[in-house]
Amino acid sequence: MVARMMLCALAAVGIFASVSHAALITIVNPSFESDVTADGTNTTSLTGWTTNAWKVWNPLNAQWTGATDQVPDLDTTIPDGQNVFGIAGGGGKYVTQVLSSTFQTDAEYTLTGYAGARRDEGGGYSDNYAIQILNGTTHALLSQTTGSFTAADRDSWRQVVVSYTADASVNGVPIEIRAVNNGPDWQYSVDNFSMSDDSVIIPEPSTFLIWTLGLLGLAWYGRRRKR
């Protein structure tokens, strides 16, 4: 019985490890869906973020294949939902958000976002993008991932991952995330940001349920055998 209980506990630890996840950090309006804009239109309304660039927009099929023009509007090829944010103008234009969470010493942060090049984009296709993690007080750059699009990248999206391990100098400082268009050309778009602290592991609630049910079942089996 003791050996059986120990085996069960070991199995539970295994399940625990397999379905736990890193602690998620809240981003307001991470996919630009809070401000509703009709298919093919844009809006200057922007919840949660600050920008000196262009707008929240809802692309058409002419701009990304499948971002079409149906009722209901089914944007099958943009990373998430109906809307994206277009960073137009180059020259360091950006969209940015200071999060409610603060950096913790030794925490390991991963910021994930998507950068996309339009199907109908003109110009030289050398839009240089940068997805960044910044000090939310001084706006100093802490970590970034950069890249650029060519004509071959037209009508596509790519996942961009930025990593940063906080040191004591930023402990307690608000986290800022930003997407920058370093140009020189016209525009790229971003969508579907998420961020996690990978040094904190949170078990899924369902794990506890499986674990508890397993132990209850074993206890019941043990009692039955004693009779």
Residue ranges binding Ca ion (CB under 5 A):
31-32, 39, 58, 67, 73, 75, 80-81, 83, 191
- For residue 134, the surrounding DSSP H or E stretch is strand 128-135
Residue 85 or 211 with smaller CB distance to Ca ion: 85
Calculate the CA 195 to chain-centre distance.
Answer: 5
Instruction: Find the Cα–Cα–Cα–Cα dihedral 133, 137, 140, 146, rounded to 10°.
Output: 20
Distance in Å, CB of 196 to Ca ion, minimum: 19
Packing angle, helices 2-19 and 205-226, rounded to 10: 170
Q: Tokens 């040191």 label which residue?
A: 167
Residue 79 or 90 with smaller CB distance to Ca ion: 79
Residue 74 or 219 with smaller CB distance to Ca ion: 74
CB under 8 Å to 157, separation ≥6 — which residues? 77, 78, 79, 114, 115, 116, 191
Name which of 100, 98, 84 is nearest 26 in CA terms.
100
Distance in Å, CB of 48 to Ca ion, minimum: 13
Distance in Å, CB of 193 to Ca ion, minimum: 10
What is the CB-side half-sphere exposure of residue 51 using CA atoms within 13 A? 24
Residue 31 or 187 with smaller CB distance to Ca ion: 31
Residue 32 or 49 with smaller CB distance to Ca ion: 32
Residue 41 or 52 with smaller CB distance to Ca ion: 41
Distance in Å, CB of 85 to Ca ion, minimum: 8
Could you give the CA distance from residue 101 to residue 220 in angstroms, rounded to a whole number?
45
Residue 17 or 161 with smaller CB distance to Ca ion: 161
Could you give the CA distance from residue 188 to residue 178 in angstroms, rounded to a whole number?
14
CA distances from 168 to 8, 172, 173, 206 (A): 41, 9, 10, 35
Distance in Å, CB of 21 to Ca ion, minimum: 22
Distance in Å, CB of 178 to Ca ion, minimum: 17
Distance in Å, CB of 187 to Ca ion, minimum: 16
- For residue 125, the surrounding DSSP H or E stretch is none
